[in-house]
């Protein structure tokens, strides 16, 4: 993850009031609260206001959480706590909530007395806490585990990563050159709705900016990049056309950096008739992915966002498109003409070839052809579901080894983790997935579901 979450830790216990007289345990309870905070330090930056026993302390905790702009509030009860205490904090904050139902001991032994019970009986107050959250209309994640259980901490880590992602999306800028490919309904969306619900802003970039930068790229930079790429890839196209494609790629990189963009998409055909450029940018957009600027083809800003989400989790991401159902291997072939992230290809087997689809005034520009490396994979489509709603469509499986077909495109062979290919296709289609999707190595459905919950968007796991 490039983003680190700030975790507000709300650790509570009722020790002393008109009827309860266990104030003598305050030192032990204070240390227990510190131990809860320490357990979370490896997951992010911890903001811990100390043990919270009453409404005034809960209000102070809320002020601290707001001042430090926490991404997630982890609510823990060491012992029963009156529901009005967490309610006071949560009424004064808006960060997502994770209720951690935890205790230090694995069981109460015969010899254990009430002091042990006091610091390990948070479950006594949990129904009151979660019921209050439901009555407030405040959604929450929930983990029940022993304090030192690594599996429980891993589940909390998934929610923490989602919280960091939520922060990242709130400040993300997606550059859009030109317009979405005409007539593609799943590329039509409300940009304000995306900003309000998912987070990123879509920022228009004039094609002229890139065309002018194309002319300013220094010849020495082009020559150095060409030489470096010939060492990394099998370049199987005319030298002049490859150099022109490299110049366009560098112009894209310069523009993305100058415009402070986090992700990028372009109507790929926008420069085909421009005599200053005159080639398709597929090689350049694939190169942007490898450099850490997720890029989607055809003006598909929402898929660029899906890639950004997955890149934050996995480090690298790409765009894929459904191509051909492979009934022989119970799989589906994913691809996209010329565009894909070469960092996810099988090392040493990435080729650069001219496009076979799009001819500009200077010919067929460069694109990639390779097989995606085999291994676990997660697919994410972010969907405008109508009536202002958004939906995550998520799928996990594996990429099988594939021998690339001669189609000037990156290619992957996807097999679902448990469904046959016909059932997977039916589920993917019924969920309303877009025809493009983001994809990344690894299994990330848990984090994506947690993120969807925080964003209050629908989620479907196929």
Query: For 295-342, what is each residue's pLDDT tens digit?
Result: 999 999 999 999 999 999 999 999 999 999 999 999 999 999 999 999
Q: What is the DSSP letter of 388?
A: T
Token pair 């990189």 is found at 253
Q: pLDDT at position 1, please?
A: 66
Contact by Cβ (8 Å): 156, 40: yes
The length of the chain, given as a count of residues: 462
Q: Where are the alpha helices (DSSP H) in 185-342?
A: 191-197, 207-216, 219-232, 239-258, 282-290, 301-314
Structure tokens at 453: 């919950």
Sign (positive or negative) of CA dihedral 188, 194, 199, 205: positive
What is the pTM for the complete model shown? 0.95
The domains found in the chain, sorted by start residue, are 6-170 (3.40.50.10940), 173-461 (3.40.275.10)
Q: pLDDT at position 21, please?
A: 79
DSSP 125-181: THHHHHHHHHHHT--EEEEEEETT-HHHHHHHHHHHHHHHHHHHHHT-EEEEES-PP
- Cβ neighbours for 212, distance < 8 A, ≥ 6 positions apart: none
Buried b (16+ CB within 10 A) or exposed e, 399-419: bbebebeeebbbbbbbbbeeb
- Digit-by-digit pLDDT tens for the chain (462 residues) are 677 999 999 999 998 888 887 888 899 999 999 999 999 999 999 999 999 999 999 999 999 999 999 999 999 999 999 999 999 999 999 999 999 999 998 898 888 887 888 888 999 999 999 999 999 999 999 999 999 999 999 999 999 999 999 999 999 999 999 999 999 998 899 999 999 999 999 999 999 999 999 999 999 999 999 999 999 999 999 999 999 999 999 999 999 999 999 999 999 999 999 999 999 999 999 999 999 999 999 999 999 999 999 999 999 999 999 999 999 999 999 999 999 999 999 889 999 999 988 999 999 999 999 999 999 999 999 999 888 899 999 999 999 999 999 999 999 999 999 999 999 999 999 999 999 999 999 999 999 999 999 999 999 999
Answer left, alpha or beta for residue 137, where phi above 0 means left and psi between -120 and 50 means alpha. left
- Residue 458: beta bridge partners? 391
Count of C-beta atoms within a 10 Å radius of residue 311: 24
């Amino acid at each position: 993850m490039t983003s680190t979450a700030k975790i507000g830790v709300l650790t509570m216990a009722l020790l002393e009031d008109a009827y309860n007289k266990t104030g003598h345990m305050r030192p032990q309870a204070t240390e227990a609260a510190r131990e809860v905070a320490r357990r979370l330090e490896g997951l992010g930056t911890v903001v811990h206001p100390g043990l919270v026993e009453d409404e005034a302390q809960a209000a102070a905790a809320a002020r601290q959480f707001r001042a430090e702009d926490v991404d997630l509030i982890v609510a823990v009860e060491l012992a029963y706590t009156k529901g009005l205490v967490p309610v006071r904090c949560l009424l004064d904050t808006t960060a997502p909530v994770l209720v951690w139902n935890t205790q230090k001991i694995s069981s109460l032994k015969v010899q254990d007395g009430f002091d042990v019970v006091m610091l390990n009986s948070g479950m006594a107050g949990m129904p009151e806490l979660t019921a209050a959250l439901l009555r407030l209309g405040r959604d929450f994640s929930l983990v029940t585990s022993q304090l030192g259980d690594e599996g429980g901490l891993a589940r909390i880590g998934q929610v923490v990563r989602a919280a960091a992602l939520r922060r990242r999306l709130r400040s993300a800028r997606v550059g859009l050159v030109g317009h979405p490919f005409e007539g593609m309904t799943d590329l039509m969306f409300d940009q304000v709705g995306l900003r309000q619900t998912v987070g990123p802003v879509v920022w228009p970039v004039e094609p002229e900016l890139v065309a002018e930068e194309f002319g300013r790229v220094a010849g020495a930079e082009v020559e150095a990049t060409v030489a470096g790429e010939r060492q990394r890839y099998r370049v199987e196209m005319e030298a002049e056309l490859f150099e022109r494609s490299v110049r366009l790629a560098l112009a894209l990189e310069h523009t993305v950096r100058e415009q402070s963009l986090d992700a990028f998409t372009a109507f790929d055909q926008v420069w085909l008739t421009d005599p200053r450029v005159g080639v398709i940018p597929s090689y350049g957009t694939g190169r942007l992915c490898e450099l850490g600027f997720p890029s989607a083809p055809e003006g598909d800003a929402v898929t660029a966002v899906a890639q950004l989400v997955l890149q934050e989790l996995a480090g690298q991401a790409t765009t894929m498109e459904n191509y051909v159902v492979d009934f022989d291997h119970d799989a589906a072939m994913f691809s996209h003409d010329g565009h894909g992230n070469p960092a996810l290809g099988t090392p040493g087997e990435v080729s650069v070839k001219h496009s076979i689809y799009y001819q500009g005034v200077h010919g067929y520009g460069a694109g990639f052809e390779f097989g995606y490396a085999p291994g676990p994979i997660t697919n994410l489509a972010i969907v405008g579901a109508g009536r202002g709603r958004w939906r995550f469509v998520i799928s996990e499986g594996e990429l099988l080894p594939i021998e690339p077909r001669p189609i000037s495109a990156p290619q992957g062979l996807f097999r679902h983790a448990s469904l046959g290919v016909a059932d997977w296709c039916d589920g993917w289609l019924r969920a309303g997935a877009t025809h493009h999707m983001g994809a990344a190595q690894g299994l990330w459905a848990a984090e994506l579901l947690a993120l969807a919950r925080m964003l209050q968007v629908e989620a479907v796991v196929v």
